[in-house]
Amino acid sequence: MTSKTPQLPANPREALKVMRIFTIALLVGMGIFASLAFLFVNFQGPAFSEEKTVIEDIFIGAAILMAVVCQFFAHTLFRKKLTETKNSNLSLLDKLNQYRASLILYLALCEAPGLFSVILFFLTGKYIFLIITALMGLFMFYKFPTTSKIINDLELDWKDQQELT
């Protein structure tokens, strides 16, 4: 039995393609989950009773706090890792792998409050949770990896730009 290790992208274009597919998969997954919760709540009602309870206010506060804190850390850590990467003397492929790691961290920190809010919407039926999910999805979409965005973020030289495009 041989163990297979995951293959890293062989060239910069492939690395960019992998990042795009990953970002789209996370966005679509969160969108499908939110859509299913929306349909379920509209047809069956929320999992909790219709009565307003104190716990709903706690849920709203927790979801907003989680979204703000996670977005702050996502932005801060992404910028920090980006600065480290662009100031390094790594090859283009290594820089793209570092960029991918930073992007995954950013997307995970944005997706967590988005999914949490979908669950809270399912429980309560309060649409503010879907708004939080949509905002987190927009933050994720904002970081969608494009060639020009990566060139600007990593401040690539002409040679690396040609290799990426």
Domain ranges of the chain: 12-40+53-164
Residue 129 has pLDDT above 60, yes or no: yes
In this predicted structure, what is the pLDDT of residue 17? Answer: 94
**What are the residues whose beta carbons fall under 8 Å from the beta carbon of 158, sequence distance 6 or more?**
none
Q: Can you tell me the mean pLDDT for 40-66?
A: 87
Q: What is the CA radius of gyration of the chain?
A: 19
Count CB-CB contacts under 10 A for residue 103: 23
Considering the chain, what is the average pLDDT of its residues?
92
Confidence tier at 31 by pLDDT (50, 70, 90): very high
Q: Can you tell me the mean pLDDT for 114-143?
A: 97
Residue 142 has pLDDT above 60, yes or no: yes
In angstroms, the CA 14 to CA 105 distance is: 20
Q: What is the DSSP letter of 157?
A: -
